[in-house]
């Protein structure tokens, strides 16, 4: 199969080309080779676009493009790398509180748990905000299978080798790695990326 692609403008849905779509339960969602995915949050045929974005005046303009350099927290055996811009704040990392702290009081303590435990936790970070380096080599490719997973009431999880092409150079903001999360509720301030706003607006779909 040719390389998978997501192509869109500020005014369009996501055009997915040559990429499998899967539900959060792992069930494949039948889709043609080229399909439009809703990102305004209002389609009645989610995850697919039904044209509603043009009726509600949706634009996918990004409010916030200020991306700082990823932060690095060096420990004895592992360096934690945190790309703050990409974080969607879902709190998976807080499961290892000694290292990552809590949602309200985050911290980054690479020596507060074994490297294996830290790696296990980092691999659960859906947005790609977290990665790590061992012996000065950044490890950020965690998925062998290329697919888009549709999270119920949440974002698109893009895994594997999926090119992102749009009119706001969003690919330049992507973290180093093979996964990222895209907004499908329409409320993110960091479109096309998810920033956790789906929780604030009680998105359902």
Q: In this chain, which of 125, 158, 164, 187 binds ligand SF4, going by CB under 6 A? A: 125
Residue 89 contacts ligand SF4 per CB under 6 A: yes
4 within 8 A of 146, measured Cβ to Cβ: yes
The CA distance from 168 to 111, in Å, is 39
Tokens representing 191 are 């479109």
133 within 8 A of 147, measured Cβ to Cβ: no
Give the interface with ligand FES as residue ranges (CB under 6 A): 154-155, 183-185, 187-188, 194-198
Using the contact rule CB under 6 A, the part of the chain among 11-19, 20-28, 127-135, 168-176 near ligand SF4 is: 127-135
Which one of ligand FES, ligand SF4, none is in contact with 195 (Cβ closer than 5 to 8 A by kind)? ligand FES
Residue 180 pairs in a beta bridge with 158
Least CB distance to ligand FES at residue 84 (A): 16
Nearer to ligand SF4, 127 or 188 (CB): 127
29 within 8 A of 47, measured Cβ to Cβ: yes
Residue 194 contacts ligand SF4 per CB under 6 A: no
What is Dmax (Cα atoms) for the chain?
Answer: 55
Rg over CA atoms, the chain? 17
Which one of ligand SF4, ligand FES, none is in contact with 125 (Cβ closer than 5 to 8 A by kind)? ligand SF4
Asked whether the CA dihedral 157, 162, 167, 169 is positive or negative, the reply is: positive
Residue 182 contacts ligand SF4 per CB under 6 A: no
Question: Applying CB under 6 A, which residues contact ligand SF4?
Answer: 87-93, 125-127, 129-130
């Amino acid at each position: 199969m040719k390389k998978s692609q997501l192509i869109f403008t500020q005014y369009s849905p996501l055009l997915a080309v040559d990429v499998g779509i899967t539900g959060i339960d792992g069930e494949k969602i039948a889709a043609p080779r080229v399909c439009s995915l809703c990102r305004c949050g209002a389609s009645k045929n989610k995850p697919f676009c039904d044209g509603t974005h043009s009726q509600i005046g949706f634009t996918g303009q990004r409010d916030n493009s200020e991306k700082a350099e990823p932060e690095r927290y060096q420990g004895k055996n592992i360096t934690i790398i945190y790309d703050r811009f990409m974080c969607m704040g879902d709190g998976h990392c807080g499961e290892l509180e000694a290292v990552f702290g809590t949602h309200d009081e985050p911290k980054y303590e690479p020596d507060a748990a074994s490297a294996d435990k830290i790696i296990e936790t980092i691999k659960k970070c859906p947005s790609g905000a977290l990665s790590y380096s061992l012996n000065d080599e950044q490890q950020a490719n965690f998925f062998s299978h290329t697919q888009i997973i549709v999270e119920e009431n949440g974002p698109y999880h893009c895994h594997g080798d999926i090119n992102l092409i749009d009119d706001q150079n969003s690919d330049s903001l992507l973290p180093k790695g093979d996964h990222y999360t895209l907004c499908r509720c329409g409320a993110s301030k960091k479109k096309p990326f998810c920033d956790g706003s789906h929780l604030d607006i009680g998105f359902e779909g």
